[in-house]
Amino acid sequence: MAIAIAAPSSAQPTFSASIGATMHNYFMTSGITGEKKNFSSNSNGIFIEVAGAFPVSERLDVTGALKGTLTGLGKKGVNFLQYRGLVIAGSVESEKMTFLEIPFNVKYNFGSRMNSHFFVAAGPALSFWLSYHEKYEDMMTTINTDVFKEMKGYINKFNVGAGVSLGIEAARLRLSLGYDYYFLNLFTSSMPSVKAYRGQARVGIAYLFY
């Protein structure tokens, strides 16, 4: 006679779908002119993510996710030429980038998974830079540029980083804040005078399936 024993629901894997907003930070060092200069810039974005959490102890989970990120929402730069208070010329520059990210985390839950609780998580992440487009517009023309094609051989599309998150889970919802930083230069060794690194702050909301 076989006896089936059901595992506690809190020990079952949990899957989630989430959406959120990001603020991307780019940290650059340029030595093209022979003098090193540091630059930084920010770019707004959004992300969507599907993830799974797999319990390894009463309060500890191992998680993995697939996340698609779009950056460059809004205008990158606006330039106007005025004469006696009137705009006689102007240009707008914008850029959009997409990334596929695969984060892995160890997640600690401050309480039962089936009840409202806070959590913290941290771990490594992989990033694949999928596209990079720039757009220039003025009163006479519009120019769209595929930067990957224009800078073929100079851009590093793969990156490795780490991230940390904290938040709360309640009533099948998860609210989280986090930050990721990627360790590899965005440019290849073919452009040794320029180094650039990417980080991103994020806030998201997820629906939990269990």
Asked if 146 and 133 touch (Cβ cutoff 8 Å), the reply is yes
pLDDT at 33: 55
Of the CA atoms within 13 Å of residue 114, those in its CB half-sphere come to 7
CB–CB of 40/28 below 8 Å?
A: yes
- pTM of the predicted model over 0.75: yes
Could you tell me which of 17, 6, 69 has the C-alpha nearest to residue 43? 69
Helix extents (H) in the chain: 147-150
**Tens-digit pLDDT profile for the chain (210 aa)?**
444 434 345 678 999 999 999 998 888 887 655 555 565 667 889 999 999 999 999 899 999 999 999 988 655 554 444 444 444 444 557 788 999 999 999 999 998 888 899 999 999 999 999 998 887 776 677 778 888 888 888 889 999 999 999 999 998 999 999 999 999 998 887 777 788 899 999 999 999 997
- What single-letter amino acid sits at 102? I
User: Residue 159's CB: how many other CB atoms inside 10 A?
Assistant: 19
Q: Where are the domains of the chain?
A: 13-209
What's the fold here for domain 13-209?
A: Porin (2.40.160)
Type of residue numbered 41: S
Residue 118: what pLDDT?
96
pLDDT at 84: 46
Q: What residue spans of 72-205 are helical by DSSP H?
A: 147-150
Contact 164, 200 (CB under 8 A): no
**Residues 120, 141 contacting (CB under 8 angstroms):** no
The phi and psi torsions of 148 (rounded to 5 degrees) equal: -60, -40
For tokens 């009533």, what's the residue?
171
Alpha helix (H) residue ranges in 57-207: 147-150
Query: Which tokens sit at 45?
Result: 């974005």
The percent helix, strand, coil of the chain (3-state, each to 5) is: 5, 70, 25
pLDDT of residue 77: 53
- Alpha-carbon dihedral of residues 78, 81, 86, 90, nearest 10 degrees? -40
